[in-house]
Structure 1
Amino acid sequence: MVARNDCMPKKWFSTLVFLLGFVIFVSPFLLQGYHALRQTQVARKVDRRAMTLDTQVVNQLTKKAEKRNNSNKTGVSESTMQSLGKKQQADDTGFAIPDSDALGTISIPKINLHLPIYDGVSEKVLQKGAGLLPGSSIPLGGQGEHAVITGHSGLPNKTLFTYIGRLKKGDRFFIQVLGKEFTYEVDQKKVVIPENVQDLVKHHPENFVTLVTCTPYGVNSHRLLVRGHLTNKVPIPAVIWEQWWFMALLAVGIIMFILIMVTIVKHLWHKQRR
């Protein structure tokens, strides 16, 4: 009996270590699922708000965006490209639809992504969605536009642009700005050094959107560029965010937490009895 009691602390300790390890293992997935769900909800809210804008407001904002697009004839500069994710970004200009801090949204059905797009690339912006790189165009569907949309990848608690490398030529992604929908088809994918902005310049009369993220994970010495050209409009497929696995992990996490607490209580109770 004494030998059995001596083994009890080791048994409870081993169980506790296993449960704690499991919770630590699933925590990043739970956080990624939570943030993905949250960002999808924000993006849908932005889309709904844009669809309810008064025609006069849309016309005013469109003229403002066109004026800004026309003021930059070349596109993104090297210094801007190198400043991705800096905490302070002077070029964040704050173009957004009323009652929102986003200018539009991006949907990539292949990777189940639906994110708000913000104006600028400060770290604050890139932590909550995609950012429009200063010097690039606001997507309006016009000739000679080249929007450069950036996003973080490889973050432990958020997916964001982590999986844009899975896109291949012919895949489509969708941009919504001021209630208008634009369809883009991937035609080019490259890895370049940060100083290389040759693929981000404007090409009249072409209309491009290039998605940019840092690569490889954890090193961030290069930039992955995924470019799409404006194509015939097609209905935006529903971005089916796989909520089931998030809810399953959340349920498992809660169960594991309860088991940990029960294990601790039982261990303390047995210890007091001895």
Structure 2
Amino acid sequence: MKKSLGIIFIILGIIIVSYPHVKTNRNEKIQRKIVESVQGVYEEKKDIKQEVDLPKLENNNVTDILKIEKIDITLPILEDATKQNLNIAPCRILETEKPGEIGNCAIAGHRSYTYGKQFNRLDEIELGDKIQVLSKGKNYIYTVNSKFIVKPEDVWVLEGNGKDKMITLITCTPIRVGTHRLIIQGIIEEEVN
């Protein structure tokens, strides 16, 4: 009986330790599939909603790809920062502008090993670094001009200044604790067709 109980505890321990890794791998596979599908749609000029076989997403709308070479990420950007969507990939906050528009395009993402890498390395971004967003066949290149930490209730970071095309990346900090928000902001430098 004691031997059987020990084996059960060992198996449970393995499952508990493995779960975050399994979930991370699953989410990364979904993210790669979405990015590949979106890139293929842009190349063939097709309608994304009709052509991309997406996992169950709220609003079922993926139109953009986020690339930050410095931290080696290429991620889909989902529309609407719901809990379900955020568990899969970073999301544009609907009340903010779309990439390339005057105002602020705010994108939130997890910084937790449970939900894949997503924004785990966002703290490595420095002033002058580049953020790219592929949106509707255009490549928007933003230059980081601001990096700071705020409290979760400081939603003023979502506001634009009325003249610039901005991007704001938002994630929890410190990693695994999330009592505050790390904010990375940039201004558009270049638009490439």
Whether TM-score is above 0.5 comes out as yes
Q: Look at both structures and tell me which one has the larger radius of gyration over its CA atoms.
A: 1
Partner of 1:164: 122
Is residue 193 of structure 1 aligned with residue 151 of structure 2?
yes
1:98 alignment partner AA:
K
Partner of 1:222: 180
The structure with the largest helix share of the pair is 1
Tell me the SS of whatever aligns to 1:103.
Answer: strand
Question: Is the 2:75–2:89 Cα contact (8 Å) retained in structure 1?
Answer: yes
Question: How far has the Cα of 1:180 moved from its partner?
Answer: 1.2
The structure with the largest strand share of the pair is 2
Question: How far has the Cα of 1:27 moved from its partner?
Answer: 5.8
Aligned residue pairs, count = 181
1:4-153 pair list within 5 angstroms = 28-29=20-21, 31-53=23-45, 97-99=48-50, 100=52, 101-139=61-99, 141-142=100-101, 144-153=102-111
Question: Is the 1:29–1:157 Cα contact (8 Å) retained in structure 2?
Answer: no
Partner of 2:141: 183
Question: Is the 2:87–2:115 Cα contact (8 Å) retained in structure 1?
Answer: no
Question: How far has the Cα of 1:20 moved from its partner?
Answer: 9.0
Render the CA deviation track for 1:150-208: whole Å, top value 9, x for unaligned: 11111425121122111111211210111111111111111101221333211132111
CA RMSD of aligned residues (A): 2.9
In structure 1, stretches of 5+ residues that fail to align are: 1-9, 58-96, 236-274
Q: Could you tell me how far apart the structure 2 residues matched to 1:26 and 1:195 are?
A: 34
Partner of 1:81: none
Tell me the SS of whatever aligns to 1:128.
Answer: coil
Tell me the SS of whatever aligns to 2:62.
Answer: coil
Q: Could you tell me how far apart the structure 2 residues matched to 1:34 and 1:112 are?
A: 18
In structure 2, stretches of 5+ residues that fail to align are: 53-60
Segment of structure 1 superposing worse, 19-28 or 119-128? 19-28
Q: Could you tell me how far apart the structure 1 residues matched to 2:19 and 2:177 are?
A: 23
Question: How far has the Cα of 1:42 moved from its partner?
Answer: 1.4
Q: Could you tell me how far apart the structure 2 residues matched to 1:188 and 1:210 are?
A: 9
Question: Is the 1:148–1:200 Cα contact (8 Å) retained in structure 2?
Answer: yes
2:28 alignment partner AA:
A
Q: Could you tell me how far apart the structure 1 residues matched to 2:130 and 2:28 are?
A: 20
Runs of 4+ in 1 over 3 A off after TM superposition: 17-31
Q: Could you tell me how far apart the structure 2 residues matched to 1:219 and 1:29 are?
A: 19
Question: How far has the Cα of 1:214 moved from its partner?
Answer: 1.7
Question: Is the 2:138–2:191 Cα contact (8 Å) retained in structure 1?
Answer: no
1:136 alignment partner AA:
T
